[in-house]
Amino acid sequence: MVKRGTAELLWTVFSGRMLVALLMGFVSGLPLLLTGSVLQAWMTKEGVDLGTIGLFALVGLPYTLKFVWAPLVDRYTPALLGRRRGWLLIIQLLLMLAIAGLGLTQPAQAPLVVALAALLVTFFSASQDIVIDAYRREALAEDEQGLGAALYVNGYRFGMLLASGGGLIMADLMAFSTVYLVMAGFMLVGVLTTLLAPEPDTPGGVPASLRAAVVEPFREYFQRNGAWGILLFILLYKVGDIMAAHMTTPLYLDIGFSLTEIGAVVKLFGFWATIAGGLLGGVLILRLGIYHALWSFGLLQAASTAGFALLAVVGDQLPMLAAVVAFENLSAGMGTAAFIGFMASLTDKRFTATQYALLTSLMGIPRVFVAAPTGYMADAMGWVGFFSFCALIALPGLFMLLRFRAWLEVK
């Protein structure tokens, strides 16, 4: 990989294609919590029972299963705007209608209708994610994938913040139905971005049939040398980080921090540290290359996880909490940028949508299954032992990188 000079690096950071990555991240993150915390708050206000509210977690299934219909957007090209922008425009318009439609439902009187409307939102939102991920992969150069991923993720977080924090604040001033109409209006950011952004080049060998679009992405991937090892690396790279994150709030409360201190330091201060980490990580990937970035940021993630063990020893000290949270969120933001950039580099541009959807679905597995026993582990090992273990469990994934060095260093 050829490292970029300072002038070229700045030109890349402030380029139009990076602005597109940021804005597409924003409209990708916006719908997520409209079927999560905002909808939960609305249903609670309307007196819906907790059991029903809990069942609404199932409407998030399209985010996990999106690889099932991803081959459709690889195989077919709409009549207008091209293979990626054409699908994006169609999906974004339907997503706007679905969000507005969800706002017109009545949670107390017709929860089943609310569930169906919410399922439409998550389906079109997951479909938008499929196409946006494919667009970013195809529109950016190999060494720009990390920075593009960082800006996408930061935009995603701002979209989530607007929908959740902004949505709940607005709900104190207006009806929830109006909030959803306002959020549907914000999706125009995505529509305008889609209309103004250039269509990426269509690679040769686009699937000639739906069967090829379904079968070939998997055949192409698993014929590669080390295919299974790469999948194992994807499962392991952030496993320690995920396990630790699941137990941090119980740690803070057990040590003696107040809810106000946790909210101010962990949520607000931590949010901006994560944003800074993503930006810094994206820029450093251009300098270091994806291989050295994965190693460096992975070690930082492990060290920051060990910081929670130190916090458990020091106890209720606000400056220490701020330092640990800043370090952890900064390194997590950097690691996420490198990790998403790495997964983008794995995809064949003929099947970008399908392969990327599959890899991101796989990426979510540790979040569900590995995090589940962490409470029992913390009980058995104590806080210091548990977070020390989480730091060490990151190392096997890092050592697996040695197998991919020659391939990654040309990315």
Most confident of the ranges 186-190, 266-270, 316-320, 336-340: 186-190
Question: Which of residues 19 and 227 earns the better pLDDT score?
Answer: 19
What does the alpha-carbon distance between residue 253 and residue 97 come to, in Å, rounded to a whole number?
42
User: What CA–CA distance (Å, rounded) separates 40 from 60?
Assistant: 13
Intra-chain end-to-end CA distance of the chain, in Å: 6
Q: Which residue has the higher pLDDT, 2 or 402?
A: 402
> Of the candidates 265, 28, 245, 263, which has an alpha carbon nearest to the alpha carbon of residue 154?
28
Amino acid occupying residue 369: F
**pLDDT tens per residue across span 242-265:** 888 778 878 888 888 887 787 777
Q: What is the biggest distance separating any 2 CA atoms in the chain, rounded to whole angstroms? A: 62
- Per-residue pLDDT at 272: 83
Residue 255: per-residue pLDDT = 87
Query: pLDDT of 280-305, one tens digit each?
Result: 888 888 788 888 888 889 899 999 99
Taking phi over 0 as left and psi of -120 to 50 as alpha, with beta for the rest, 352 belongs to: alpha
> Tens digit of pLDDT for each residue in 30-75?
998 898 878 888 888 888 887 777 777 788 888 888 888 888 888 8
**pLDDT cut 90: percent of the chain above it:** 25
Name the nearest CA neighbour of 25 among 136, 120, 137. Answer: 136
Torsion angle of C-alpha atoms 328, 331, 337, 338, degrees rounded to 10: -130
Q: Where are the domains of the chain?
A: 6-202, 217-408
Phi, psi of 370 (to 5 degrees): -75, -35
The confidence band for 218, taking pLDDT boundaries of 50, 70 and 90, is confident
Is there a contact between 320 and 311 (Cβ–Cβ < 8 Å)? yes
Inter-residue contact 190 to 23 (CB < 8 Å): yes
Architecture of domain 217-408: Up-down Bundle (1.20)
Indicate the pLDDT class of residue 209, thresholds 50, 70 and 90: confident
For domain 6-202, the CATH superfamily is: MFS general substrate transporter like domains (1.20.1250.20)
Please provide the average confidence, as pLDDT, over all residues in the chain. Answer: 84
Which tens digit of pLDDT belongs to each residue from 76-112?
888 888 888 999 999 999 999 999 999 999 888 888 9
User: CB–CB of 401/233 below 8 Å?
Assistant: yes
Distance separating alpha carbons of residues 338 and 378, to the nearest angstrom: 29
